[in-house]
Amino acid sequence: MEGIIKMEYIKQLKRSLKQYVGNNALCINGNFYTYRELAIAVSNIRNTLTIATQRQDKLIGLVTNDDLQTYASILALWLEGKAYVPINPEVPLERNLQVLSLTEATYVLDSSIASVYTDYTVLNPTVTDEVEIYVEPAVIDENDIAYILFTSGTTGQPKGVPITFSNVQALVTAIDDEPSFNLQASDRCLQMFELTFDFSVVAYLFPLLAGACFYTIPKGAIKYFYIFKLISEQKLTVLTMVPSIINYLRPYFSEINAPHVRYCSFGGGALHSDIAKEWSTCLPNSKIFNYYGPTEFTVYSGFYEYIPNSATKAYNGVIAIGTPQKNTSYLLVDQKNEEVAVGVTGELCLAGPQITNGYWKNKAKNTQSFFTRLESGVSVRYYKTGDLCIKDDEGDFLYVGRVDFQVKIRGYRVELAEIEFHARVKSDHKVAMVALAITNHLGNAELGLAIASDPFDTTTIFEHMRTQMPPYMIPMHTVFVKEFPHSINGKIDRKALKKYFDIHKD
């Protein structure tokens, strides 16, 4: 029984479902659903799960449609002590099947009219009114998985990051401990993220814990304008976004005035101080936070509060990531995993209760990315983020860059090697192909593919890539460069190669 007591956040979810019955919980495509409606949906899905699955069936596939049933499925799974394995219907089927097969899930919760997961036992989270509300949590083992997310991997195979119930609890505890961020039942919050993206967890979970309402973005909507529409028409009070949103909205800042916004949290990419300053004038009453954290450390590990018209810490124009949150430790190391001095660039490593137990069935990667260190006689396990940082003499951490070829595209982590792998594998032209992140005139990273050849028809290459990777991983620009520029030591000079991309047209 101890497990239940420890999972305070699950109990809080139960309390929200019982306490805020008349409040709106979600707004999807203009339709509001109350906590009562959510509780009914959750109870229905729990019935379905109880009838169809066994206690030992812990990992359940979840097709991430934008509807009440999908969100209710997450809560139903958690109340049953099970994990969701989100699969995005817009991602190629082949990749989703790979994810399901890696997790050995046999059940898929799918609210689609016709499910494509015919080799699996599809559970339809249909909702009928005739159900007794049942939101009492089952006995939950805190070491069980709450969700597994897959991110881009270098070998063409996605990497799974399992997050346990106790990891999520540690995140909730840390955020609750932060006095400058406090959601209320009256808050109206933006949930702009696809559920396969870990940032979505904070965007739906924190509003639900507070009895507040979150607003989603319909699939197929033009995200940037839909977000603005929600902010201005629904008078949102809490925004959680990736920086690329404001980069694209920047030309229209003079038309945005949202005094009702209380909090605006950024994460999932570098936030530049110049644009943050301009954006802050659109939100005159809002606190602005720059959050940092990798999927492997349960969404957030720390933050820096951006205060307009005050001295802002930044490195190369990128706002500092500040200090670690409660129970989290930051450590900067050199290539031998030894701590570097204050003011020296090192790889940021994270320790604390939010750390994942390791990549899903990937021993090689786990050896690379995690290490233990003896601190005051105790062995502490660290995750190596691949992010380079500097710690200043006041203890704030400044983001410097990446150690490898991973880039962020609209908040999603992308391994350039994975794109190159899929570009080359089916091509008749056995020539060098290099994927690059190019910064456009708005400051956003866009993917380019450079091919070392005379021009040829790339239709089959792109058709293949589209069957293997989600849309954000498909290069938007292609150039043919007969001879790739090389650096003195013979490596392809990626920096010089970027200059071949003409995306600075204005």
Partner 1 sequence: MNREEIVPKVKEAFVTVLEHENFELLDTTTANDVDGWESITHMMIISEVEKKFDIKFKLMDLMNMDNVGDLLDTIVAELTTK
Residue 229 lies near partner 1 (rule: CB under 8 A): yes
CB-CB contact of 23 with 39 (8 Å): no
The Cα angle at residue 418 between residues 424 and 428, in degrees rounded to 5: 5
CB-CB contact of 110 with 173 (8 Å): no
User: How near is the Cβ of 477 to partner 1 at its closest, in Å?
Assistant: 8
User: How near is the Cβ of 447 to partner 1 at its closest, in Å?
Assistant: 10
Cα–Cα distance, 464 to 467 (Å, whole number) = 5
Grouping H, G, I as helix, E, B as strand and the rest as coil, residue 348 is strand
Q: Which is nearer to partner 1, 30 or 395 (CB)?
A: 30
Q: Which is nearer to partner 1, 15 or 235 (CB)?
A: 235
Q: Which is nearer to partner 1, 132 or 457 (CB)?
A: 457
Residue 251 lies near partner 1 (rule: CB under 8 A): yes
Grouping H, G, I as helix, E, B as strand and the rest as coil, residue 62 is strand
User: Residues in the chain, how many?
Assistant: 506
User: How near is the Cβ of 62 to partner 1 at its closest, in Å?
Assistant: 23
Q: Binder to partner 1 among 223, 260, 277, 424 (CB under 8 A)?
A: 223
CB-CB contact of 92 with 465 (8 Å): no
Cα–Cα distance, 344 to 327 (Å, whole number) = 24
Q: Binder to partner 1 among 150, 193, 206, 228 (CB under 8 A)?
A: 228
Q: What is the dihedral of CA 165, 170, 173, 178, to 10 degrees?
A: -140
What amino acid is encoded at 289 in this protein? F
Residue 481 lies near partner 1 (rule: CB under 8 A): no
Residue 255 lies near partner 1 (rule: CB under 8 A): yes
Q: Which is nearer to partner 1, 391 or 408 (CB)?
A: 408
Q: Which is nearer to partner 1, 232 or 357 (CB)?
A: 232
Q: Binder to partner 1 among 218, 284, 401, 471 (CB under 8 A)?
A: 471
Q: What are phi and psi of 225, to 5 degrees?
A: -80, -30
Cα–Cα distance, 236 to 263 (Å, whole number) = 10
Q: How many alpha carbons fall within 13 Å on the CB side of residue 114?
A: 0
Q: Binder to partner 1 among 220, 309, 378, 489 (CB under 8 A)?
A: 220
Q: Which is nearer to partner 1, 223 or 365 (CB)?
A: 223
Q: What are phi and psi of 24, to 5 degrees?
A: -75, 135
Q: The tokens of 294 are what? A: 């990798």
Residue 259 lies near partner 1 (rule: CB under 8 A): no
Q: Binder to partner 1 among 4, 21, 256, 481 (CB under 8 A)?
A: 256
Q: Binder to partner 1 among 410, 422, 473, 484 (CB under 8 A)?
A: 410
Cα–Cα distance, 232 to 258 (Å, whole number) = 7
Cα–Cα distance, 77 to 381 (Å, whole number) = 29
Residue 476 lies near partner 1 (rule: CB under 8 A): yes
| Binding span for partner 1 by CB under 8 A among 72-80, 96-104, 249-257, 271-279 | 249-257
- Tokens 């866009």 locate to 446
Q: Binder to partner 1 among 225, 307, 425, 496 (CB under 8 A)?
A: 225
User: How near is the Cβ of 34 to partner 1 at its closest, in Å?
Assistant: 27
Kindly list the residues in this chain that would bind partner 1 in the complex (CB under 8 A): 220-226, 228-229, 232, 248-249, 251-252, 255-256, 410, 446, 471, 476, 478, 505-506
